[in-house]
Each structure stands twice: as structure tokens, then as C-alpha cells.
Chain A
């Protein structure tokens, strides 16, 4: 691969041009020649063939292996390399093309050790019955988690009592019982937001604990242990029983992405989907969705790209459609819309190589639609300790110095692995301290996926001002957008004049960065596209993780700005450190967000201590000796407040009555339904809605300024609930300087 050439091509034509690029052309021709693709026979060009004639791919693979050992994305060992190349110069498709196929990773000697370290990985599905799998406390701090330390657990909604029972039995039994399967393959797609912190990175890939949601009851039977269940195809019962499938395919029926199963094996199925879409299109109509029992099949057509979701969750059509559109946006973010040109030139163009290695990005986005992962503290600690040992060992064996920031931009992914290991060590040690105290509960269900808004990390006004000031400073020097984020929460954000950043773009961008392990390893400079900003062109993103979760993104239009942005970053970082912003951020993460228990209760004393960073505001509110209400006043369990003008939302922490992940997911779905119902296309938005069912009372209130979604105990009294909503609104307004970002360029377009 030629970094120079790649950079040049990125400059002139951000998108790979099949004709100009020999590598791509090969790919295109190969697929074009493959006439019987749609007939279930696996086209040769999709068959994994290692490319022996690529000397420099071998070292890459080595990097990959090394990296693999430190990352969680075990599933696509080989592909990580391409992901990184993509990250460094996404304009060099030849590199993608040359990357080892994921399936090759099995023969990669480097991958073996990683696997050997893999401990048991357990997928199980459970309708919330998994007593043992669910940490009794919402924070997963209990010893019962220990047994999961080395287990990847997939919980499935409805499911198998056997598994539920298993989870409840002694940890040893579980591990023993499932070890064998997990040793075979341990590739679990990890939500980077939850697992990608430095500590875990340092450990072996399989070493994570987490409860992953639920897929289906049948998954247990044969391939519970496969991460993305690569061995499944449309013939497998387990595959069919998965709760939610996502597919991306081309208009000629070639698979591009499938959430479960190997895309290549799903060629026939893809062709079926394509046939359905085009059958209806031939009649001059466009299929939108199909309903069959609890299942919904949702179709979205975006030019030559078809997206399909098959789901039996209770999400409404609008929500599923939006998720597909976000998936499409994620794809654009990586490739831009000019990928359409490839299809114009060659309808049978095979896009899979272009996206190889980005599975984790899509998986993580999909998780944020519905999944929730909890990383328990004990597990995290263990991970960190192991990580520290692992990296220490690594450094001693390679003897590499730590100098990760001095390389030319195009090298920063490909060549910096060794140095970055050193960083790992530093970071790992840092996070060890951190994680010892942080309840590491991570919400990967992200309300931003349906709210069209982003959320901010609660910070005192002064702190946020300080961060904003330095970002503004940088933005004035030719940076299009400067963002400082902590996970998916915004600390501060500044845009150049007249430039506005859509919340969806922020969601996709932060997902891309957090899901791509390589961004964490060092500063990076990567072409990305903001679909809502301009779907046709690449911008260039300078990304650097300032600490475990806090990262800086500087977006620019110039492909040559690496050094400039690097200087900016150094300036910003020093200011942030000096003004204690970073430590405030850590503290805020520690303190968590708003708690319903803290909602002021009228004419009574308030109980519960307030997060220190909020204390100034809270002092004004009255204190109460709240009686033994569980959750907030009047049975308030949770709320989301979205400020319409700011395009921001704030969501409370989950209170104890909804501490289990299945309940949280139910609530998330209820919110989704409520949102869809309130924003009904023809007649919405409605003003208020009250719902009561067996799980919750949910109130929604939409005004010109805000939207409030509040969940209560199902037996909550209507009058009290309404009062509580009013109080929440008042409270949020009182706190708005802390929980919202003001003065960011208004997102009006």
C-alpha cells in the first residue's frame, strides 16, 4: 500500500474509483464476471483467498494479531488491519481490497494465541429470568458478577429455562460447561462504548464480562458461542429465530452486511430480498414493510443500496426505518455517497471489501438501537490488571519506545502499533485507578437513535465554558468542527461560522470512533463523511483520546491538516488539563447523571445527596425526607427531557425499580413506541400522551420548547404523575446550565 498515493487519491477523488484503482477494479470485475451470484452459489470473488503476493500485508497481519490480543474485536482479526487502513486513509480502497479476509484469520498464527486466551464465552437467552446473569444491583457491583468475568454472556429475551438456570448456578459450573464452545471461537462483537476502555484492550480479547442482550431462544442450541454466529445462514433455525436482523445489500442482490451469519453464505437470501423489492418496484410501487405475526420486515431503498430489517421486537415501523437510515448513514460516513458511482459503472459491484473491518462499527450502532451492556466492576478491575500485565510483557518483549505522536498521518494507524502499546500501559494503569471506583455501567441503548438529539455530560457552567473557549479558539483557525466528547456525551462542541452539525452525524461519528478500536490506540487522522452535512464529500477527522473515554475530534476539509490539528490538540489538551476540565469530566462520569430520587418534592425535605457538581443549583431546591418511595417522587422511575431548540436531551439514570437490563430495554422500547406515536407522520406531533400498561405509566408532553418522556410505576396516580412531570421540567430548567450546552452553534438548517 502506498500512503502517498492513497493520500493523493483522497485528495482528488475521495471515493475509490474502480476504474482508476487497479485493486478495486479487480474486485469489480471479479464480481461482474460472477454471473450466478444470486443463485446461492458462493461466488469465487467472495471466497476468502489470502493474497500471497502482498508482502507488506504480512507485517500488517502481525500488527493485527498483536492488536487483536489487546482488543475486544476478536471476530475479525484479519479485518482490523483494513479497518485501520480505512481509518488512516479511507481513500485507498486497494488496501481494503488486499486485506486478508476475515475468514483467513483462522489460519493466522497470530490469532491462535489470542484465541487460546479466550475464556468461555456464553450466549444465552433469557426473558429476564437469568437471576444470576443479572447483577442484582444496577451497577453490577456484586460478587455474583465474578463468575462472568471471563464469560461473554448473551442474554436473549425469551428463552431457555435451562440456560437461565445455568446462569443461576455456580460460576464454576458455568464456566466449565461452556468453555469448550468458546474456545472454538470467541468472536463477540463488542460494543466499544462498554468494552473498549484501555484496561480491556490490554487484556486478551475474550476477556470481558458483559451481559449482552438477547437474541433469540434458539441461539443456544448450536451456536450460542459464536460471536456473530458466522456459521449461521438462512438455513439455520437459530438464525431464523434471531430477534432482529439487519441486512444491507446492493441492488443486484449482493450482500454487503448482515448482522448475523456470514454475508457470503447469505447470498441466496440477499437475492430473495432483492427479488421482493424489485418485484414490487416493477409494478411501479415501493415496498415499505411487511407484517407477519410479531415479525416486521422493513425495507429502505437508498439508490443502489437496499437495507432490510427483520425484527420481532415491538418497535414500531418508524423506529426500525430510522435505524436502517442510521445504518445507511453509518455507511456513508465511511464511504460517502459517491459509492453510488461504483454501482453506476458496474451494477454488480461488490461492496463488501470496501466495508471490511467495519463490522464492529455497524454492530455497535445496532447495539445502541436496543442493546444494553453492563460491565461489572470486578470484571473491569480484572481486565485492567491483566491488561497491565499483558502490555508490560509486550513492551518488555518488543522493547519499543513510547512515541506515538510523531509519525506522519498516514502512518498513524498502520505503523504505530508498537509504540501505542506503551500508551496502553500508561492508560491501563490510569484506568485501573479509575475503574476501581467507577461503577462501570454503560448504557449502549442510546435514546439519540430515535430522539434526533444529543446529550451532554453534566458539567458546571464554568468548566464547560472553559472547554468551549479553547475549542472556539481552535475553530477560528480553520477547523470546521471541534468536538470534545466523553463516550457519546458531549462536553463541548464548536463549529465554524454557518456550519452546523446534525445530531445524527454526531451519533454516527461518535459511534464510529468508539467502535473502531484503533482510534483509541493513538491519535488518528481519518477521512470521514458527515451524511447530514454533505453526503458527497469526505471531511478529515483528527481524533485523539485524551483519556479512557474522553476524546477530541477536530474536523477539517483539508487532507493535509494533520500537523496543524495535532498542534491544536496539544494546545487544547494543555488548556484542558490546566483548567481541570478533564478531572471535572472524570468526576462527572463518576457522579453520573440526574437521578429521579433527586427530583425536588414540594413542601418537604429532600433526601439523597446530590452530585457535587450539581450542588450549587440544588441548594435552591428544598430538601425532603422523602418517604419510602422507590424511585423518584410519585413513583417516577425515569425521564428523558429533550430541549427542542438546543437539539439536546437529558436522560435520568435508571432508578432501582428498573435496574435490570430487561426492564430497561422494555422502557427503551416503550419510549420508542411513544416517540413514534407522538410524532405520527400525518397528524403529529401530538401534545400529550398518557399510557398505562402492565409495565409502566408513561407520560409524554411536547411543547414548542421541549419534549418530556417520563416513566412511572404502573400504579402511579395520574394527578401525582402530572405534578411530578411539572416538577421535573422545572428542575431541568433550573439545571439547564449544567446539563445542556449553550452557545454551540445553533443547529438550525
Chain B
């Protein structure tokens, strides 16, 4: 028995997900394994991996019942554990290659496992649920297989999986990574967006205008009434059901719009099914429909899509089958909004997404004000600022980080490892206490390595061109902290969102929509 003497040289990592309750009987241990990477790994190897993992978990529980094994450090491998669910464990084994590049922080590796699991859960629900539904585990295995395999492609560098190393020690996974824009732009953008009303994490803002209960102070009353009228006329289930049209999702509309999709922000009106007789006045609301020749009062123009959203007859450009929601004009706020309607049984929710020039303006501002990721780089500083409470991080441009000497990064990686341990210990011992400390190291190559933890925020800095003294370095940190504080004032304007959802959304959006990733910075700076 024993671990594989060498893991596949092409892989560099092994990743295993197993359920410690399964396969209790001798000979059935293989049943424990829900996922194993690389998938073609011989069973004997897989078994020895979970054998050691399971054994160490049991062993360490003898002494540390609350927190079982997290890391096994051996000479040639690091094994990182993550207890994803009470009985579900994920183990990542990375090989230490002699080239001295394979130095990492265990926390950073564990963050990968956490991320895999939280993303998986977002799409598939918890593994436990899947296993409960289908005890044989086939479903869970196939879900995990496709999901993790796809996930790992992001780490693949020329046929080899490359995990984050010490070179990534100025990045923080599982936080919303912010990019800096100039203060002027930020303020201007913020000013522009106030009328759009409170934004949320994805830039999309949800506001409910409860028509039936008129207690929403920010809702423009006249428009609300109009919307309600229209809803009753054409959007409520009753109005829809008066037609028998078997609507198809791809049905062509009457006219096409020349409006292009812009970054969006939603306003919504929610109309509870509050049926009044259909004898409402014809509303003047049509006046806003400047861009559209869509006949929104045509009786058969709305229909319910399979996804619950109502679809108007208006479509995008020819050949593009995407439905473009109609635009309406809100009189009181004098803005154009897209009208999106979602219906569930008798409940109709109306989202109004601003389509006004404001959005264009904000977008322009941001594009102009952005000026490239290095534009607002503070010269001399390489930093990472993490706000754990809000899962936000802000870091030096990656390009600038690579200019740091390897020794500085290596030493800094070690410093971070030490901070991780200290933090984790403090959190375990005094979870309620605020954990404040500060460490400044002048490394052999004269770089200053700084970690400062205060009020839930963590500031990490590497100063390579700092002057001789500790005082200079602390001075630099102070200055920097002050700058950061300004930024943080913005953060604090944020409506508090669940940390989890914010991370997940941002990650998805970053990978799907914008490749260069200032989306969320824009989003945050908006506030």
C-alpha cells in the first residue's frame, strides 16, 4: 500500500472528492470516491489516497475533534483538505517539483477547493442532496465529473494543471477583485447612478414598486399607476389568457428595434394580481415609446415564455433571435426603461431596467476614466487589500506584481502563510474578538514585506524601493491605508449583500461577460 510513488508527471495534481460515510465495508472502499482527478488514475492509487486521507482525518480527530486534518506536508507533496459538507471531503494533492516554483500557501490551495464546492453548489445544490436523491452516487459522480473537469481547464497550462504559487501571493481568490478608477470618475459615476437608485452587486439593481401597497417612497407614483394600468390591461395572467395564442419562444415580432443592449440596471414594478375590471382608461404611457413602433397594446403581443418571462412581439435585429424588451418612458423620472415582465401563476413582477442616456454616460465615463489597469497604479507599492467582511479585494495590477523579485515574493508568500495561521488560530480561539496585528519584515534583499490586519481588513504590501528604515515603510503603509480608507468609504455605501452570493455572481460574470474584469470595479465604484 502507500501513495503512488509518482503521480502522473503530466498532471502535477490529484484531486479527490469522497464521502466518508460510503464504502464502509471492506472491499467497497471505492464507493467512497465521488470524483478523482486525473480520472484515469489506477484504482489502487485512488484507494491509497483516500486511505491516507481518511486515516489522517480520523487520527487528527483524536486530538482536534472540531477541526480535522487540513494539511499534510510531505517532502514531495502537499495534501490540502477541505471538508465541504459534513461527510464530504475534498483533497487536493500537489506535487512539489524541484524547480522552486512549487511553493504555495495552503490557504490559497484550500481556496480552490472552497471555490469548486461553492460554485458546484450554486448550480447543482449540495452534494448531500444529490446523494440523498440518488443513493447510488451515479448522478453525483457525473455532475462532479463534468463540473470539476470544466473548472480545472482554467488551471491548465500546456497540458499541466498549474495551481497558484507564491507568485500569486498578491491575489486573493474568492473575493470580488476590484480595480481602481480615479476618484473623480468614481464620484461622478456615483453621482450619475444615484437616480438609478440603489445598485446591487451585479450592477443590476432591483427595485420593487409594489403597486397595490403604495408605501414605497421612491416609486414614482404616476408611473406606477400607469404601469399598473398597463399591466392589468395586457400583462396579468387574465389578460394573457384571454388569448389562446400558443406562443413560441422564437416567434418573430412585428418590428425590430434599433436599440442595442447596454449594460443594464433594473427597475421593477411588481403588480400583485389585483384584478380590477378591465375598464381602465387608456393610459398616456405610450408617449414614451419613442424608439419603438411595437404595438404593445395589441392584444396578442405579449405571451408567456417557457421561462416565465413574458415576451413581447418585439425582437432584436434581424437574424438575431434574442428578444429585446420594449422600452417605456417614465414620466416622473424622465427616463427610459426596459420593460421586463416575469409571471408566476397569478403573480406578475415588472422589472424596469433603465435604458436612458445615463447608462450610456456612466459607461462612457468609466471607459474613459478607466485608462487601463495600470493607470492608477501607485508606483512603488505592490499591495493587496482584502476586506473579509465584504469579500472584496483590491490589488496591484498583476503586471506590476510580476516585476517584483522572486525572493521578495517567496518571502512574502511565507509571511502570508504565517499570517494565515495566526488569523486562523485567532479566529478559532476568539471568534468574536477583533484580530489586529501588524508585521513588517525587511527581507534579505531589502524589500519591505508588510502585513497589517485591522478591523477585518487585511493589507499586504511589498515595497521594493522603500527607503532604509522601518519608519519609512510604516509611513508608506500609513499613507496607503489612508488612501484605502477613502475607497472603503465607497464600499460602505454598499447595501449589505450576502457575501456568498456576491462572490459567486462576480466570478460568473467575470468569466462570462467581461474578460478584463473591471466590471465589478465599475460596479463598486458606482457607489
Contact = CB atoms under 8 A, between A and B. Distances in A.
A52 interface: no
B16 interface: no
B222 to A, nearest CB: 58
B82 to A, nearest CB: 13
Given A240-B63, A283-B3, A689 B442 contact: yes
Given A285-B74, A295-B64, A689-B440, A279 B52 contact: yes
B334 interface: no
A310 interface: yes
B72 A295 contact: no
A687 B470 CA distance: 11
Contact of B444 (A289, A291, A673, A687): A687
Given A234-B62, A286-B75, A683-B414, A294 B439 contact: no
B67 interface: yes
Interface in A678-694: 678, 680, 682-694
A548 interface: no
B389 interface: no
A688 B442 contact: yes
A590 interface: no
B455 interface: no
Nearest to B95: A285
A293 B62 contact: no
B55 interface: yes
Contacts of A685: 444
Interface of B is mostly: mixed
Interface in A299-328: 310, 312, 314, 316-317
A173 B306 CA distance: 79
Contacts of A677: 414-415, 418, 439, 441
Contact of B414 (A280, A285, A680): A680
Nearest to B80: A291
Contacts of A291: 69-71, 73, 106
A280 B52 contact: yes
Nearest to B408: A683
Contact of B73 (A288, A678, A693, A719): A288
Nearest to B4: A283
Interface in A202-234: 234
B68 A282 contact: no
A692 B474 CA distance: 12
Interface string B420-443: 011001001100000011111111
A276 B59 CA distance: 9
Nearest to B3: A283
Nearest to A234: B62
A627 B396 CA distance: 46
Interface of A is mostly: mixed
A290 B71 contact: yes
B69 A683 contact: no
B76 A284 contact: yes
B440 A276 contact: no
B9 interface: no
Contact of A283 (B48, B56, B418, B469): B48
Contacts of A240: 62-63
B215 interface: no
A426 interface: no
A246 B481 CA distance: 44
A722 interface: yes
A272 interface: yes
A222 to B, nearest CB: 18
B437 A693 contact: yes
Contacts of B69: 290-292
B477 to A, nearest CB: 11
Contact of B441 (A282, A290, A316, A686): A686
B56 to A, nearest CB: 6
A155 interface: no
Given A280-B52, A682-B410, A693 B436 contact: yes
B91 to A, nearest CB: 13
A22 B2 CA distance: 39
Given A682-B103, A691-B437, A692-B438, A294 B407 contact: no
How many interface residues does chain A have, given as a range? 35 or more
Nearest to B7: A283
A286 B64 contact: no
Contacts of B55: 275-276, 279
Interface string A118-158: 00000000000000000000000000000000000000000
Given A291-B69, A718-B474, A689 B74 contact: no
Nearest to B451: A691
Given A279-B2, A283-B48, A287-B74, A683 B444 contact: yes
Contacts of B437: 691-694
A285 B52 CA distance: 13
Contacts of A682: 100, 103, 410-411, 414
Nearest to A297: B60
A21 interface: no
A556 B521 CA distance: 74
Contacts of A310: 63
Given A276-B56, A677-B441, A692-B438, A294 B1 contact: no
Contacts of A287: 72-75
B99 interface: no
Q: Identify the interface centre among A283, A294, A718: most chain B CB within 10 Å of its CB.
A: A283
A281 interface: yes
A719 B76 CA distance: 44
B24 interface: no
Contacts of A285: 3, 74-77
A718 B440 CA distance: 12
B154 interface: no
Contact of A294 (B48, B73, B425, B443): B425
A293 B66 contact: yes
Contacts of A316: 418, 421
A36 B436 CA distance: 53
Contacts of B418: 316, 673, 677
A281 B70 CA distance: 20
B489 interface: no
Given A287-B74, A292-B69, A686-B443, A281 B410 contact: no
B346 to A, nearest CB: 52
Interface of B: 1-6, 48, 51-52, 55-56, 59-64, 66-77, 100, 103, 106, 407, 410-411, 414-415, 418, 421-422, 425, 428-429, 436-444, 446, 469-471, 474
7 contacts: A240-B62, A276-B59, A279-B48, A297-B63, A677-B414, A677-B439, A686-B443
